[in-house]
Structures are given as structure tokens and as C-alpha cells.
């Protein structure tokens, strides 16, 4: 469907209505001026269901500002026009300096002193350059909390970046589900790998498409290539997967809970990121040791970054998706 009125725009990885409004008009509060392709305005419930590839409409008078300068992820050297807005960092603008202002090399090394050799500071910074909305939206407090939340979750998933893949090898063959778009490749397994333990064939396929890398055929790249490894984690963090919002939108203030979310206890804060990442096992039940571990990391990292934890740090009263 084409826009009934206005300039069409296709939602890219990491996009929220708030980030698009900020990019177009330097005013995040104007997100309500963005229309659906049928000409109707977005409701707060619609915002929660914004999806990659969705067509939205800006005003006819708008000059579309490309997301490649501050958003997205596809190699522009050989990509077709529908390339999801990624630019090769070697030729891209300087991108996000906010992350390095918040987490210096010294801070990173203090947080992860026994990390695996692939998890270098340089690889993380390079990944952030690909997703420059990360840690650059919202107030300074929100930006620091987002960084702390991301680092806390990857610390929990990998024992402080010690592990590069799931250690229970007996589980490896289980991570395959029939999928016409991203089928399992014979001889390959899709167990958890990388900082956020990317799992399942459909996730390897989706993030591989976003990165321009065939991760279905080469899943081990997530545990051997530090740049790709961190990029998969940031893809998962930045990309909404309906009906879930992205963790980035939650921590940066771009996600507004619907009435249904409020009724189900889903409110902005660190606990919501846990719900997004592993809510089926860790949320809507009495607080598990896993959640306590995540919260302990979050508390430590927010203290190191000089910010409080904010509200809603647990998810025991949140309905999972």
C-alpha cells in the first residue's frame, strides 16, 4: 500500500516513531504527526506494533532525511536501494560518540576484566557505530541507563563476556524450527552464541540479512568474529519484534505502554528488557536467581556510570509475551 498522502518511508532497524521525528524535525514530540499508509494517525497501541519494513508516511512538505547518517544497518557499497539504511562504517559519518563518552576503554576493561579475546572494546565501539541510535537518544540519565542495561544483560548471558556460546552441547540440535524464509542448513546448529546468546535459525537468518552476512550457513562467525558478535547483540537490542518493543525504545523513552501493557504490568524500566530477552522463563513468576543476577549487574554498572537504576527493575509482576 502506498501513502494516501505524504512521503513514504520504510521502517529500518532501530527505528522508532520518536527517533524518526527527532531525525526529521529535531523534535521527538512530533511523532504523532507521522501517519500510517492509510492516512490514519498512529495510536499509542499502534506504536508498540511498529515493524521492520512497514511503510509510514511523512508530510508532503518534508524532505526525507536518510537514516544512513544516524540509523540502520546494510552495506551500501553494493546494496540495492532497499538496503535497510546501513552504511559501511569505513565511508560513513562519524556516527555515535555518545557511547565512548559514557564507557571509556578503562571503564570497559574494569567491567569485563576476564572477557574472552573476541570481545574487544574496539569491536563493541565498531558495532555501536553501525547502530548509532544506541545510547544517543533520550536524556543523559536515560542514555547511561540504557548502556548499563545492555551491559548487564550481556554480562548475565555470558558470565561477564567469558563465554562465546552455550556450554550445554546436548541442547545445540534443539534450536531449529521449520521456517520457509530462514531454513536450517544441514550440518549447522543455532545454539546461543555471542553477547546476547543469539539462538534459533530464524534469528540467525534475520540478523544475517540485516548485517549482510550469511549466518545461516556460517553461524560460528558469531563466536569467532568480535565485530559480528557485538553487532548481533545490538541488532537484537535495537530491533522491535512485534508485539515486543525493542529494549532500546524501552530504555531511551521511545516506548509508551498501551493500556493492555499497563494492565499486564509491562512498564518502562530494566525489568522490561528482561521480559523482552527471556520473559517466558524469567518473568511473571517470583523473581528467579537469573533475574537477580541481571539486576545485580545492572545495579553495579549504573553505580559505575554515576546514575540511579530508575523504576521497574524487576519483571515478576509483568506478563510475559
Q: List, by residue number, the catalytic residues.
A: 157
Tell me how crowded residue 130 is: count the other CB atoms within 10 A of its CB: 28
Distances (CA, A) of 116 to 104, 180, 194, 218: 18, 35, 11, 20
* Total number of residues shown for the chain: 321
Burial 135-172 (b: 16+ CB within 10 A, else e): bbbbeeebbbbbbbbbbbbbbbbbebbebbbbeeeeeb
∠45-236-68 over CA atoms, to 5°? Answer: 85
The sign of the torsion formed by the CA atoms of 46, 263, 133, 13 equals: negative
C-alpha span between 68 and 77 (Å, rounded) = 12
DSSP structural state of residue 30:
G
Query: 58 - beta bridge partners?
Result: 7
C-alpha span between 211 and 84 (Å, rounded) = 10
Distances (CA, A) of 125 to 164, 233, 259: 18, 13, 37
3-class secondary structure, 247: helix
C-alpha span between 115 and 113 (Å, rounded) = 6
Inter-axis angle of helices 226-238 and 121-130, to 10 degrees?
40
Amino acid at each position: 500500500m502506498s501513502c494516501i498522502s505524504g512521503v513514504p518511508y520504510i521502517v529500518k532497524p532501530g527505528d522508532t516513531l520518536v527517533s524518526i521525528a527527532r531525525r526529521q524535525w529535531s523534535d521527538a514530540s512530533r511523532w504523532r504527526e507521522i501517519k500510517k499508509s492509510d492516512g490514519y494517525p498512529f495510536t499509542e497501541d499502534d506504536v508498540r506494533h511498529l515493524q521492520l519494513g512497514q511503510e509510514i508516511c511523512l508530510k508532503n512538505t518534508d524532505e526525507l532525511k536518510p537514516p544512513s547518517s544516524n540509523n540502520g544497518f546494510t552495506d551500501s557499497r553494493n546494496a540495492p536501494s532497499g538496503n535497510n539504511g546501513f552504511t559501511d562504517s569505513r565511508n560513513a559519518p562519524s556516527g555515535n560518540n555518545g557511547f565512548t563518552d559514557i564507557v571509556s576503554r578503562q571503564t570497559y576493561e574494569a567491567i569485563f576484566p576476564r572477557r574472552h579475546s573476541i570481545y574487544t572494546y574496539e569491536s563493541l565501539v565498531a558495532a555501536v557505530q553501525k547502530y548509532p541510535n544506541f545510547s544517543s537518544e533520550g536524556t543523559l540519565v536515560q542514555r547511561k541507563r540504557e548502556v548499563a542495561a545492555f551491559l548487564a544483560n550481556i554480562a548475565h548471558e555470558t558470565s561477564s563476556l567469558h563465554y562465546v556460546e552455550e556450554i550445554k552441547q546436548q541442547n545445540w540440535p534443539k534450536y531449529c524450527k521449520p521456517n520457509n524464509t530462514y531454513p536450517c542448513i544441514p550440518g549447522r546448529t543455532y545454539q546461543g552464541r555471542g553477547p546476547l546468546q543469539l539462538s534459533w535459525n530464524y534469528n540467525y537468518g534475520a540478523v544475517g540479512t540485516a548485517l549482510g552476512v550469511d549466518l545461516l550457513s556460517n553461524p560460528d562467525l558469531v563466536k569467532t568474529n568480535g565485530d559480528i558478535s557485538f553487532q548481533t547483540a545490538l541488532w537484537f537490542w535495537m530491533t522491535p519484534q512485534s508485539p515486543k518493543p525493542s529494549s532500546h525504545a524501552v530504555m531511551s523513552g521511545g516506548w509508551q505502554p498501551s493500556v493492555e501493557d499497563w494492565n499486564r504490568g509491562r512498564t518502562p524500566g530494566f525489568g522490561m528488557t528482561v521480559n523482552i530477552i527471556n520473559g517466558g522463563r524469567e518473568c511473571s513468576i517470583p523473581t528467579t536467581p537469573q533475574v537477580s543476577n541481571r539486576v545485580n549487574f545492572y545495579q553495579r554498572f549504573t553505580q559505575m556510570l554515576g546514575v540511579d537504576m530508575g523504576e521497574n527493575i524487576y519483571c515478576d509482576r509483568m506478563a510475559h509475551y
